Structure 1
Amino acid sequence: MKIKTILTPVTCALLISFSAHAANADNYKNVINRTGAPQYMKDYDYDDHQRFNPFFRSRSLAWSSVARRP
């Protein structure tokens, strides 16, 4: 009997906390949309080289933001 009285408030608190979360990411701004086709960026040329490399741009932007010394 005592276990049921302890578990009831815990269960209610868990249910309320789960329902308090947003249903989807549209309720927030600055959220990355990860829907789409993963094969989209895997466009190969005639030699089977990948045309678009998603890591190339991120590295070049990281190095371009480094302060250059005179």
Structure 2
Amino acid sequence: MSDGECTAAAKKLLADGVPFIVHSAFVANDADGVFRSGTFVSKPTGTPDIVEAVKNLLARVANGATSQN
């Protein structure tokens, strides 16, 4: 997604049980509550951290997890 407001998209993903990653300059506790339901990766970060977050999320999904936490 491009920069900007994406709360509606995050709410839709959460409602549909779709795991998601949030890559944001906001601190997780300061972000809208829906974003705390995702896997949070703070900016700035390098590609290896994002790849690791994706791997962890995929592993949880493979093990049947639908919850983000």
TM-score for the superposition, normalised by structure 1: 0.26
Structure with bigger strand share is: 2
Higher relative contact order (CA 8 A, sep 6+): 2
Structure with bigger helix share is: 1
TM-score for the superposition, normalised by structure 2: 0.27
Larger radius of gyration: 1
